Chain A
Amino acid sequence: MALPICMTLTLLIIYIAFFIKKKLSFLHNSIVFMIITIISKNYITLMTMEFKLFKIAEKPSLFLVLILNRDIIIPLLIIICINLHFQITKWSKRIIVYLIIIGFMQMMDVLLKYFGVIHFINWNLLYALVVNVTYINIGLGISKLLFVISSWEGQRNDRNI
């Protein structure tokens, strides 16, 4: 049950990420995507193998759910969030976007817990909320840095011409 639900959600998120109007280029979005996947993989491996704050399911089908969440759902939600952030100028609307994205990430954590993909040991949904907010902040930080590097590189190329 967990895998079909997660696969459906993954496909829906891929559709949304593919069709939303993007303010970041493909290159910018791919860099953010890769950095978030690197962070999420390390976060889960450290939490399970080193700190033992939660345990992951050893059943392969449930582990696939974790992989989908870790490597596709989380990074794509961050991509959706940052593209909407730069598209929307009103802060009230931006906050609504953050709340929806964080809500979705929290729902994923609840689903993972419900289906036994993750067993919390010294962990709870409040800590997970902190991690999800951190993902969004990292995504926003990287995207702003990428804009700075792009404009700096553009200026440098102009000077060379």
Chain B
Amino acid sequence: MTVIYEKSFNYNEWFVIINFIIMLLIIWKLPKQFSILEGTAHFLYGIAIGMFFDHTISVKPWDFYDVNDDSSYQLIDFLSYVAYGPYSYIFIYLYKKLNIKGFTHIIYVLLWGCFSVLIEWVSIKVGLFHFDKGYKMYWSFPIYIFVQSLQIIFYQIIKRS
């Protein structure tokens, strides 16, 4: 059965659209650090990982939470997953720019984990995520630091290949 939270085009939809546009503009304005394909790969990484988790734990049999206005799959849901792309791009962009090495990896990943949880908290407030089915936000932190660490490994493999 489809759970409906609301039906109007309001904060959550605008949040997804504006957030996506602003992030794309930031990427557009940033001095280029990657080749087109490398940049595309890091952009796609965020989308693929975001979709993996949301299409796995927010659907049955687990169905821990819902995204946007109801529990069905809508176009705005798709766009909200695509909006993960700029974040993963900027994550690795800053990683390269700041020349993160050694133990600073831990600080960098923890800071991004906190930032990701903050964005998630804003998403809950605007009605993008609905954790009414028992999901707790603290579960997201280890997931974020895990996927971000994986992205650093992905970046290093690309660099060496």
Contacts and interface: CB of A to CB of B under 8 A. Distances in A.
B33 interface: no
B35 to A, nearest CB: 6
B41 A34 contact: yes
Interface residues of B, number: 25
Contacts of B61: 57-60, 63
B56 A67 contact: yes
From A38, A42, A57, A146, name the one whose CB has the most chain B CB atoms within 10 angstroms.
A38
A56 B161 contact: no
A27 interface: yes
Given A25-B161, A31-B40, A49-B59, A37 B52 contact: yes
A150 interface: yes
B55 A45 contact: yes
Interface of A: 25-28, 30-31, 34-35, 37-38, 41-42, 44-46, 48-50, 56-60, 63, 67, 71, 146, 149-150, 153
Main secondary structure of the interface of A (DSSP, over half): helix
Contacts of B56: 67
Given A27-B161, A34-B41, 12 more contacts: A25-B161, A26-B157, A31-B44, A34-B44, A38-B51, A42-B55, A49-B59, A58-B61, A59-B61, A63-B62, A153-B35, A153-B36
A9 B36 CA distance: 34
Q: 5 tightest CB-CB pairs across the interface, nearest first?
A: A26-B161, A34-B48, A58-B61, A34-B44, A41-B55
B13 to A, nearest CB: 18
Contacts of A28: 37
Given A30-B154, A34-B44, A41 B72 contact: no
B140 to A, nearest CB: 19
Given A41-B51, A60-B62, A50 B36 contact: no
